Amino acid sequence: IIEYPLIIIFIICGAIFLISTSDLVSIFLSIELQSYGLYILCTLYRDSELATGSGLTYFLLGGLSSCFILLGSALFYINSG
């Protein structure tokens, strides 16, 4: 699969950005960059029923966790002034 190294590079770049961030927006963007690569990696093998079901589950749970991260960072920003 030709796209496999590119997906791994996106995941590694997200991890490096997460280590080097200093504000909430960059933290959120680096987590999302990592998670999109992981979603694609989970659903890479479409023939397997387990891969397709788990990829959809990860995608839905990832969207829910992104909402919680944004809500938490907004509340933190509001309370800190």
Q: Cβ distance 55 to 46 under 8 Å?
A: no
pLDDT of residue 32: 84
Please state the domain count of the chain: 1
Query: Residue 48 belongs to what domain range?
Result: 2-80
Query: How far is 30 from 20, CA to CA, in rounded Å?
Result: 10
pLDDT of residue 20: 92
Q: pTM higher than 0.75 for the full model?
A: no
pLDDT of residue 22: 87
Query: How far is 29 from 13, CA to CA, in rounded Å?
Result: 11
Residue ranges in the chain modelled with pLDDT below 50: none
Q: Cβ distance 20 to 30 under 8 Å?
A: no
